Amino acid sequence: MSGGYVAVQWNRQKRIYDGILGLSVAGCLGLFAGITFLTHPAATAETALIRGLGLTAFLLLHVILAIGPLARLDARFLPFLYNRRHLGVTLGMLGLAHAVFVLIQYHALGNVDPLVSLLDSNRDWTSVRDFPFEWFGLLALVILGAMAATSHDFWLSALTPPVWKRLHMLVYVAYVSLVLHVALGFLQDERHPAYVVSVALGVVALGLLHLLAARRERPADEANDTADWIDVGPAGAIREGRAVIRLVGGERVAVFRHQDRLSCVSNVCKHQNGPLGEGRIIDGCITCPWHGYQFRPHDGTSPPPFTDSIPTFNLKLAGDRVLVYRVPNPAGTEVEPVPVPGQAAIADDPFYLGYETGTAAPLARFVRSRLVIGLLLIGGLMATWAWAQRTYAASTFEYGTTRTVVGVVRMDPYPTLVVDETPLPRPVARYLLAGTGKHGAGAAMAGLSGHRVRITGTFAYRDQSTLIEVADRQDLGPAAAETPLQARDLGTFSLDGEIVDSKCYLGVMNPGQGKTHRGCAARCLSGGMTPLFVTRAADGRALELILVTAGMQPVARPDRLAGKRLRLTGRVFERNGVWFLQTGSAEVAP
């Protein structure tokens, strides 16, 4: 307890607690990234970081929600409960970092504000498969951010404990939102059974823990308390310095035994509504097991100079039975303790309080063993999740390396460069062009159609397609007339696949397709990037077809269908080494 609001008061236990927490978070991120790059060499650092932050935050939320019921089922888990708010603040920071990197990676450098892009890229509110999962993530982030921002006791006092408690109970809403965010987003792309099984087991395990904890407390809550005086059990069953918790008048009360005298107070601590009855009497004061707040048993008032108080209850003995009057006294009302004649109290058992400097050896061994088991389990999950990723493709973006090529610019229907000599590493005759950020090369190449141009830029390539992100260009004048090449027509097909933006798909982002990339693809396509329709040939090879209209013009608003599983019907043909799909109709594929 403190007489004022000060910064975190570090002691040895807090340093150990937060040191283990910090190392665990860093270890999770490092393990995920390390195994990702070891098993998926084509993975990009940005995507690995985004996924690592998100999965670490999701896992940490499971740990936070498991601590409460575990501590109620077994008091030896109380050391994990103490300073649980530090876990919550860490969770909020991880969630915020995940969201910031998502905004930068997928929605920045486009033609609209990143936050607007996040919320407007997907409007499929009526489709379960294509539902905008981003909104669930945003809701969870707002709740967890509010909880982290109000974690200090100043806000606990300013909001009052009941309001503060209701705000922080929204963590369960945040949890459901995050489960939906993961299920409707990440799990739509990463379909390895390890992800589905682990998420399902996490939901089931948390549900069972809370049900078991509730079942343990149900007998006390279902006790018959319609009479004025409620029988709460035998006096001899109450340990010295400890309490029994019972339901009286619809409210949980704690009957404490101290120096063979009984007192009854509300079970709700004024600090965070913690369970006073699960604490013990230290230095003559009831001490809350959560954070050490104290109240005198005979009047429910904190020792000077503090003034907090809780309701007290009248009680009496009927033989060995303890009876409590159902109507509470006003907070701070003094009630004379009731002596317990001729009955030896059951000896107290070892007990943990977070602010104490020492911990009993058996409890310390229990905590260490459970911590090691937990960290091994967490490490195993992170390693499995990193290994199980399947969406990384064999694509390359030569980040930091620029090359210079010379060729003829063609703008019909999208900017491309036809070269005379094919430079390494991609010996192809025609390159797609893109601007910087989420913009096509139309503006940079304006007025240069049919001109020879020296272009300096960065290569991205995948399968048989290559793209240059233009950094600089130099007009070398009109080129000699090009002999038109006859188009090779393969006929009309109905093809299943996905519309992607050529820049990300060919390697600038990896993976550059799927539902989680939809927002980025929409921004790139609306910014003028060449749209590709990715499908598969009969032998399983990926085919990338440039989308055009029947008149060989750019298609209108391809961003509206980006990232969806589609069936497109149209004519497939090849011209100048580039494959096209003249789309006639589109429908969402089953």
pLDDT digits (tens, 9 = 90+) for 406-440: 999 999 899 999 887 766 556 677 899 999 999 99
Write down the pLDDT at residue 267. Answer: 93
pLDDT band at 72 (very low <50, low <70, confident <90, very high): confident
What's residue 159's pLDDT? Answer: 86
8 Å CB contact between 260 and 317:
no
Measured between alpha carbons, how far is 202 from 184 in angstroms, rounded to an integer? 16
How far, in Å, CA of 313 to CA of 331, rounded? 10
* Cα 284 to Cα 306: distance, rounded to the nearest angstrom: 15
Quick check: 229 and 325 in contact, CB under 8 A? yes
Least confident of 110-114, 283-287, 328-332, 576-580: 576-580
CA 223 to chain centre: 40
Position 355, amino acid: Y
In this predicted model, what pLDDT tens digit does every residue of 344-366 receive, in sequence order? 555 555 555 555 555 567 888 88
| Beta-carbon contacts of residue 350 (< 8 Å; ≥ 6 apart) | 360, 362, 363
pLDDT in tens, 146-189: 999 998 878 877 888 788 888 999 999 999 999 999 999 999 99
Largest distance between two CA atoms of the chain:
114
419 near 409, Cβ under 8 Å? no
Angle at which helices 12-39 and 45-73 pack, to 10 degrees?
140
β-strands 578-588, 542-548: how paired? parallel
- Could you write out the three-class secondary structure of 396-460? EECCCCCEEEEEEEECCCCCEEEECCCCCCCCCCEEEEECCCCCECCCCCCCCCCEEEEEEEEEE
pLDDT at residue 502 is higher than 70: yes
Higher-pLDDT residue of 485, 522: 522
What is the crossing angle of helices 161-169 and 134-149, to 10°?
150
Distance of CA 32 to the CA centre of its chain: 15
pLDDT at position 347, please? Answer: 53
Is residue 92 pLDDT above 60, yes or no?
yes
The closest of 509, 495, 479 to 585, measured between CA atoms, is 495
Q: What is the pLDDT of residue 154?
A: 81
- By CB atoms closer than 10 A (0-12, 13-18, 19+), residue 74 is exposed
Q: Is the pTM of this model over 0.85?
A: yes
* C-alpha pair distances (Å), 89 with each of 143, 149, 333, 509: 12, 8, 37, 31
Which tokens hold the place of 519?
């927002």
Place of tokens 């229907």: 413
Give start and end residues of each alpha helix (H) in 323-446.
361-387
pLDDT score, position 313: 96
Reading the block at residue 110, the tokens are 């486009």
Q: What's the whole-number mean pLDDT along residues 538-553?
A: 89
Pull the structure tokens for residue 294: 């104290």
Give 249's pLDDT tier (boundaries 50, 70, 90): confident
Task: State the average pLDDT over residues 465-488.
Answer: 86
For helices 134-149 and 84-102, what crossing angle results, to 10°?
140
Dihedral sign, CA of 500, 505, 508, 510? positive
CB distance 466 to 431 below 8 Å: yes
Q: What per-residue confidence (pLDDT) applies to 6?
A: 52
Residue 498 token pair:
């996905």
Q: Are strands 321-325 and 229-234 parallel, antiparallel or unpaired?
A: antiparallel
Sheet hosting strand 294-295, strand order edge to edge: 280-282, 285-287, 294-295
Tokens of 332: 């701070």
